């Protein structure tokens, strides 16, 4: 099915199942511990061996010798895989990392060997017996030192162009009557998902099956085939449940490669999980940015010039962090400039982390908007509303499909009690605590992409949906079940959903905020075909047939849905593809975040007291799941604002705090009650579902809303994240 014109009325609009705050259908499995994650497929793989990755002890250089004698003689050891016996390995299409070093070392904790033994403990012990000699070479680990020599990156598959220029930014900024020019920085951050990267690999002849934890099954099959040099038809990946990813499990990483190699060399199925201390330097992360933002405006608050430049680092050939994405589309302004620069660093690869580009970019942009509002003596909400645009600022005449940023800001301001905020920083005090409020806009693109599904109907009226779409805990199982139930006129108890198997039809996968809108559209397309097949089997006019309450009706004829499959199961498969509507309309999600903090007047300890998100993301398929996504994102935003930072040892070249003891993330005590308002809306230009994604929108802008609240409380502006009490103390003059 091709979607190439705005959607009209269709079965989804009945809203009997879609749009209801439905509990997760897989919830009982997760709460009883019976949902199987990658490392837990013990019935499917009996008598496995265990793999253990040994990571490089240097950040840059060469391996000169690996003495395996003691490790090979250790109890239970079956095999040791190194570059010497792994065979040729290529890089995949999405990541540039080499997943097995040798002889060259590209970054600290890059895998140099995989030890395979009868038990995990034996593999770990044998790994400690490997004697590895290195020859170190000089590496580059400091973005600040390389900023001036950073280069313009080549065009990337994802993210904004390296440079955009509209009008005469430099001239307009120079002559602006009111202007600001500030530099901000965001640190390296870790995904820190609960489930580690884990794989069980099993070879049967030249066929490889892996139970793994990745978000994009299609990318995974493609990349693993390239890396191992085997036909992708010989690979089957299974990821029934994923314990968090946030972009950090996009496609193939070291665990999948290492387990596959180990199983081939050992001649046994192999289970392998990355130990937590290895994950931070071995896998991908959100890279540090340095961002310069310049804004010029008229005295009445109209922006006349807006410029955003960002520097980040990566391995040779890696992508830049696309931090300028939001600035291109969020606010009006005739004269515009964005620019990205990339430095080569010898740290673990920087790549996608929840809302890549927008999340770190808005950590800077939305502080800058507050700083500019203060220069103009304007309320920060009013300043943002003043510079709203109902058409793409870079392409005048290209309308937004839907855009309710102003309504988000106004609704949030009224609900949060914004009118009680004192514009003068440090004015409100409760005992020894300074109280402040902050606001930030939110924006995130709303892409949709090709997605397919297969649906089956049996004689009992049970609908089974099969697609390789994944569920990271986001509620995918449930919204796909809701879609099939709505389309086929049955209750959720009559729908079975099977996900995360690359042998199923290829879906959009989870990532980029495209998963929900795209995967449900693929199910919609397959259900349209199934409805036609049912009507034809029953001798009904497919255009007039009505599906409701487990029955199919046309005129005065009525049948139980299952009657269509009495003699044989009915199977339908289709995919949703898209025309040019995304070029005709700017398709984006919008929101607003409001935060209240308390900062201790003497210690500068920060406590978040209240949070509100107002989100505009088309039709909300499941309000309960959507709220869950948003409050999780808001929590992540608090972490980014106040605590998350991977600290780089610039001499040795590694992230020092590479575990959950040293890398701080928010806990329950850090997070107050979070309120979420989902604005009612549909977007017929997106798909027949008229929905958009929301999971990343809930993060964009949160950190800067916290930062702006801290400033309002204290009068101290911190432009280098995270905002910690030492920075407040240092600037308390």
Active-site amino acid positions: 696
The answer to whether 241 and 21 are in contact (CB under 8 A) is no
- Of 403, 398, 448, 397, the residue nearest 583 (C-alpha): 398
Largest CA distance in the chain: 83
The first and second tokens of residue 274, run together, are: 């990355």
Closest CA to 27 of 481, 400, 708, 679: 481
Q: For 66, list phi and psi in degrees, rounded to 5.
A: -125, 110
Q: What are phi and psi of 219, to 5 degrees?
A: -65, -40
Q: Which residues of 284-314 are buried (b: 16+ CB within 10 A; e: fewer)?
A: bbbbbbbbbbbbbbeeebebbbbbbbbbbbb
**Residue 498, beta-bridge partner list:** 466
What is the DSSP code string of 98-109? -SS--SEE-STT
User: How many CB atoms lie under 10 A from the CB of residue 341?
Assistant: 21
Query: What does the alpha-carbon distance between residue 362 and residue 365 come to, in Å, rounded to a whole number?
Result: 5
Measured on CA atoms in the order 230, 232, 233, 234, is the torsion positive or negative? positive
Nearest residue to 212 via CA among 224, 229, 227, 204:
224
CB atoms within 10 A of CB 730: 12
Residue 359 to residue 356: CA distance in whole angstroms = 6
Q: Are 258 and 111 in contact (CB under 8 A)?
A: yes
Pick the closest to residue 131 from 59, 62, 64 (CA basis).
64
Residues 6+ apart with CB under 8 A from 500: 217, 238, 239, 240, 241, 242, 468, 469, 470, 471
Contacts of 711 (CB under 8 A, 6+ apart): 370, 425, 436, 438, 717, 718
Look at residues 376, 381, 427 and name the one whose alpha carbon lies nearest to residue 406.
Answer: 381
Which two structure tokens, joined as six digits, stand for 343?
A: 């430095």
Structure tokens at 649: 């040892």
706 token code pair: 């916290």
Residue recorded with tokens 């003891």: 661
3-state SS assignment for residue 29:
helix
Distances (CA, A) of 621 to 340, 401, 463, 499, 697: 36, 18, 19, 18, 15
Cβ neighbours of residue 351 under 8 Å, at least 6 residues apart?
94, 95, 247, 250, 284, 285, 318, 319
Report the distance separating Cα 196 and Cα 207, nearest Å: 25
DSSP 305-348: EEEEEEEEEESTTPPPP-TTTGGGTSS--SEEEEEEEEEE-SSS
**What separation in angstroms does the CA of 474 have from each of 12, 213, 626, 699?**
21, 14, 8, 14
Instruction: List b or e across 406-444, with b for residues whose CB sees 16 or more CB atoms inside 10 angstroms.
Output: bbbbbbbbeebebeebeeebbebeeeebbbbbbbbbbbb
Among 504, 448, 455, 500, which residue's Cα sits nearest to residue 474? 500
């Amino acid at each position: 099915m091709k979607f190439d014109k705005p959607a009209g009325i269709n079965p989804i609009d009945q809203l009997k199942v879609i749009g209801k705050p439905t509990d997760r259908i897989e919830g009982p499995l997760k709460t009883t511990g019976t949902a199987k994650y990658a490392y837990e497929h013990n019935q499917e793989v009996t008598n496995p061996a265990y793999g253990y990755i040994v990571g490089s002890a240097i950040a840059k250089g060469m391996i000169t010798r690996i003495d395996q004698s003691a490790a090979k003689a250790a109890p239970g050891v079956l095999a040791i895989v190194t570059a010497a016996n792994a065979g040729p390995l290529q890089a995949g299409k999405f990541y540039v990392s080499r997943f097995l070093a040798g002889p060259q070392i590209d970054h600290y904790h890059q895998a140099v060997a995989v030890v395979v033994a009868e038990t995990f403990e034996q593999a770990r012990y044998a790994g400690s017996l490997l004697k590895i000699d290195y020859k170190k070479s000089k590496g580059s680990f400091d973005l600040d030192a390389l900023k001036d020599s950073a280069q313009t990156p080549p065009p990337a598959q994802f993210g904004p162009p390296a440079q955009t220029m509209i009008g005469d930014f430099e001239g307009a900024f120079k002559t602006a009557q009111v202007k600001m020019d500030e530099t901000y920085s965001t640190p390296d951050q870790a995904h820190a998902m609960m489930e580690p990267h884990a794989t069980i690999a099993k070879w049967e002849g030249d066929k490889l099956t892996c139970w793994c934890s990745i978000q994009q099954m299609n990318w995974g099959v493609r990349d693993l085939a390239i890396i191992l040099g085997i036909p992708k038809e010989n690979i089957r990946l299974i990821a029934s449940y994923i314990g968090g990813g946030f972009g950090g499990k996009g496609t193939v990483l070291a665990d999948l490669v290492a387990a596959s190699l180990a199983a081939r060399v050992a001649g046994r199925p192999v289970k392998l999980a990355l130990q937590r201390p290895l994950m931070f330097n071995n896998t991908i992360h959100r890279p540090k940015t340095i961002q310069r933002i310049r804004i010029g405006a008229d005295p009445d608050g109209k922006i006349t010039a807006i410029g955003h430049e960002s520097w980040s680092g990566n391995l040779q050939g890696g992508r830049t962090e696309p931090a300028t994405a939001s600035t291109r589309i969020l606010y009006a302004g005739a004269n515009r400039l964005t620019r990205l620069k990339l430095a080569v660093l010898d740290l673990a690869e920087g790549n996608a982390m929840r809302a890549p580009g927008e999340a770190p970019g808005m950590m800077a942009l939305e502080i800058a908007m507050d700083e500019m509002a203060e220069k103009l003596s304007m309320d920060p909400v009013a300043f943002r509303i003043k510079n709203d645009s109902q058409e793409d600022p870079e392409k005048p005449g290209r309308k937004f499909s839907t855009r309710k940023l102003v309504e988000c800001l106004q609704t949030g301001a009224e609900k949060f009690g914004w009118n009680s905020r004192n514009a003068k920083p440090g004015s409100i005090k409760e005992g020894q605590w300074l109280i402040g409020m902050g606001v930030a806009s939110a924006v995130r693109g709303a892409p949709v992409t090709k997605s397919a599904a297969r649906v089956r109907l049996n004689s009992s009226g049970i609908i089974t949906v099969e697609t390789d779409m994944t569920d990271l805990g986001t509620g995918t199982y449930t919204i796909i079940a809701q879609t099939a139930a709505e389309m086929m006129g049955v209750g959720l108890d009559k729908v079975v959903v099977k996900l995360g198997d690359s042998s199923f039809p290829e879906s959009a996968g989870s990532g980029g905020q495209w998963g929900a809108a795209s995967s449900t559209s693929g199910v919609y397309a397959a259900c349209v075909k199934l409805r036609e097949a049912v009507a034809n089997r029953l001798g009904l006019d497919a255009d007039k047939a009505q599906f409701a309450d487990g029955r199919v009706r046309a005129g005065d004829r009525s049948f139980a849905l299952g009657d269509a499959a009495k003699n044989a199961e009915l199977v339908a498969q289709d995919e949703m593809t898209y025309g040019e509507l995304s070029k005709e309309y700017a398709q984006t999600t919008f929101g607003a975040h409001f935060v209240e903090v308390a900062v201790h007047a003497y210690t500068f300890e920060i406590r978040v007291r209240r949070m509100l998100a107002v989100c505009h993301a088309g039709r909300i398929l499941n309000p309960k799941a959507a709220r869950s996504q948003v409050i999780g994102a808001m929590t992540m935003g608090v972490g980014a604002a106040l605590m998350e930072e991977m600290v780089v040892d610039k001499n040795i070249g590694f992230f020092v705090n590479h575990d959950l003891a040293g890398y701080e993330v928010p806990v329950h005590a850090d997070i107050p009650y979070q309120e979420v308002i989902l604005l009612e809306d549909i977007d017929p230009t997106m798909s027949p579902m008229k929905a958009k994604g929301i999971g990343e929108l809930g993060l964009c802008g949160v950190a800067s809303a916290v930062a702006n609240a801290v400033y309002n409380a204290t009068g101290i502006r911190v432009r280098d994240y995270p905002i910690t009490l030492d920075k407040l103390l240092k600037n308390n003059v």
